[in-house]
């Protein structure tokens, strides 16, 4: 029988015994996501888009298998540890140029999957025609969440290319080398915000909650009943949809008035943070109506920005 802990018991645990990080599973991270996206597509109001993102995730897995991105040096890791900074920050000006090649490989593979409409073909061709400087500026805007500088239709493909490179790097990093950060919610590997959290089952991760980075897919342990945006333990509440899955909730915080979704593998073993977050837009609408805003966007669904905003 699974042991359920209340918040007080969780806080009193010896946290040195809890794995702090769960590094991405290089051989399956994107293929697992693709399978989950296809599983969720039929019940989603944006099923066609979710199937397209599944094809993109398949392309990511194929590209990752052939990738070998430069790893951070021992000196840069030591510097990050000394200053409590991410090891390979996504906002670094010296971003490896390999990501542009990855982007073009993804575009070709998505196109060959046969799901490209004439409108999407124009988006893909537009990305192919951008100069290196334009692509780098676009990547800068995306990782910095400067929404008004990004065309929503292009963002998922650029983000997908960056995900492949950073996931490749993260999968080779020894978790013992990763520093602790002072910034709540930020990934200690790349500094990016998480997309959602998951309470895992099985082995050393049994019953523990992890937030999954939206860029490098590194998962970081966070105790339950705690805001993953501002670290507050006050005013935390959980919201679901009547008749909906018990495996997915929105965890809201009254201190910062944000929410982030949380999934429970004991209720649905196949829960995948990014995929399940993307396929649950109805829950986002309900949370917005209740006066809460997302802590961070889904990497594969860029928000529209009004012309006057």
> What pLDDT does residue 13 have?
47
Tokens of 138: 């676009």
> What pLDDT does residue 16 have?
53
Query: Looking at the domain that runs over 182-294, which CATH code has it been given?
Result: 3.90.1670.10
> What pLDDT does residue 183 have?
85
Q: What does each of the 309 residues of the chain score in pLDDT, given as a tens digit?
A: 333 444 455 444 454 579 999 999 999 999 999 999 999 999 998 999 999 999 999 999 999 999 999 999 999 999 999 999 999 999 876 678 899 999 999 999 999 998 889 999 999 999 999 999 999 999 999 999 999 999 999 999 999 999 999 999 999 999 999 999 988 889 999 999 999 999 999 999 999 999 999 999 999 999 999 999 999 999 999 999 988 889 999 999 999 999 999 999 999 999 999 999 999 999 999 999 999 999 999 999 998 765 444
Give yes or no for a contact between 125 and 104, defined as CB atoms under 8 angstroms apart: no
Q: How is the chain split into domains, by residue range?
A: 25-175, 182-294
> What pLDDT does residue 157 have?
98
* Whole-number Cα distances in Å, 163 to 36, 57, 147, 198, 213: 18, 10, 18, 19, 10
Predicted TM-score of the model (pTM): 0.91
Query: Looking at the domain that runs over 25-175, which CATH code has it been given?
Result: 3.90.1670.10
> What pLDDT does residue 124 have?
96
> What pLDDT does residue 116 have?
87
Provide the pairing of β-strand 293-294 with 258-264: parallel
Please check whether the two domains, 25-175 and 182-294, share a CATH topology.
Answer: yes
């Amino acid at each position: 029988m699974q042991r359920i802990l209340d918040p007080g018991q969780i806080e009193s645990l010896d946290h040195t015994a809890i794995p702090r990080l769960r590094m991405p599973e290089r051989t399956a991270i994107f293929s697992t996501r693709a399978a989950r996206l296809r599983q969720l597509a039929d019940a989603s109001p944006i099923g066609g888009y979710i199937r397209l993102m599944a094809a993109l995730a398949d392309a990511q897995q194929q590209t990752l298998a052939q990738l070998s991105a430069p790893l951070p040096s021992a000196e840069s890791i030591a510097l990050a540890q000394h200053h409590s900074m991410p090891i390979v920050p996504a906002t670094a000006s010296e971003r490896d140029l390999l990501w542009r090649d990855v982007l073009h490989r993804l575009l070709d593979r998505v196109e060959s999957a046969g799901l490209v409409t004439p409108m999407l073909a124009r988006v893909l061709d537009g990305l192919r025609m951008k100069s290196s400087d334009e692509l780098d500026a676009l990547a800068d805007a995306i990782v910095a969440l400067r929404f008004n500088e990004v065309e929503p239709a292009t963002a998922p493909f650029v983000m997908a290319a960056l995900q492949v490179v950073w996931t490749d790097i993260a999968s080779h990093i020894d978790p013992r080398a990763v520093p602790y950060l002072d910034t709540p919610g930020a990934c200690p590997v790349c500094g990016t915000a998480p997309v959602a959290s998951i309470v895992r089952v099985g082995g050393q991760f049994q019953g523990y909650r992890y937030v999954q980075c939206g860029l490098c897919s590194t998962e970081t342990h966070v105790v339950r009943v705690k805001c993953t945006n501002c670290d507050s333990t006050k005013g935390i509440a959980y919201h679901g949809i009547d008749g909906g899955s018990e495996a997915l909730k929105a965890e809201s915080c009254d201190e910062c008035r944000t929410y982030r979704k949380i999934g429970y593998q004991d209720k649905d073993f196949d829960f995948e943070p990014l995929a399940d977050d993307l396929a649950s837009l109805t829950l986002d609408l309900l949370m917005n109506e209740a006066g809460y805003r997302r802590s961070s966007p889904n990497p594969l669904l860029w928000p529209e920005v009004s012309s006057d905003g």
